[in-house]
Amino acid sequence: MKTIIFFLLFSISVFAQKTELKSGDLLFININCGGMCDAINAVTEGFNGNDFNHVGMVYSDNNKDFFVYEAISKGVVKTPINDFLKRTDVVYKGTLTEPFQHLIPLAATFCQMQLGVPYDNDFLYDNGKYYCSELIYDAFKFANNNKPFFKLFPMTYKEPNSENFFPVWVEHFAKQGIEIPEGEPGCNPGGMSLDKKIKMAELKF
């Protein structure tokens, strides 16, 4: 009985959230991926001071079946909205302001074309692979006549107010066999959530 009640409550919650969503909405969440996520949160800040370390884009062909385009460890994928929402208790959506709504179909087309592209474990922009916010950045750049829509900033892998790199990044890039790309251009979900061209709001469970 408890399992049935939980399922019903979750289904009602998901339905309520779907009614708040529309194609092109960006979903910002904070997932637990250990030391790497902790390091990202330590040097980035999102809307209203929230920690966001993952972002994906909502899309629906029929305004009934929603899914999320996202770049995760297995690459660029198309995730059912229910599966995406199960990962966290707190979700913020970023809705493009009216002057930019026309970019959404082309941004979605771009994401569709990238399905199966590998995840960018090197965190290097324009290397034929994608991490989460990089996919969204390029999608809207493509839709915007190849002109940047969101901003790139110098990336940092150092501990706050220190010249020391986070140990987790030292280990990670050693495994990748590359130098730590300190200062190279990139983007992150927190910074993207602060962009004035989107309106942020918390989804209520």
Q: What is the CATH number of the domain that holds 95?
A: 3.90.1720.10
Q: State how many domains the chain has.
A: 1
Q: Are 151 and 191 in contact, with CB atoms under 8 Å apart?
A: yes
Give the integer Cα–Cα distance in Å for 19 and 81.
12
Which has more pLDDT, 16 or 95? Answer: 95
Q: What is the pTM of this model?
A: 0.90
Q: Is the pLDDT of residue 139 over 50?
A: yes
Residue 84, domain member (yes or no): yes
Residue 15, domain member (yes or no): no
Residue 16, domain member (yes or no): no
Domain span at residue 62?
A: 25-202
Give the integer Cα–Cα distance in Å for 145 and 133.
19
pLDDT value, residue 34: 87
Q: Which residues pair with 119 in a beta bridge?
A: 130
Residue 133, domain member (yes or no): yes
pLDDT value, residue 9: 39
Q: How many CB atoms lie within 10 A of CB 101?
A: 13
Q: Are 166 and 158 in contact, with CB atoms under 8 Å apart?
A: yes
Residue 2, domain member (yes or no): no
Residue 106, domain member (yes or no): yes
pLDDT value, residue 33: 85
Residue 181, domain member (yes or no): yes
Give the integer Cα–Cα distance in Å for 122 and 124.
5
pLDDT value, residue 11: 41
pLDDT band at 205 (very low <50, low <70, confident <90, very high): low
Residue 5, domain member (yes or no): no
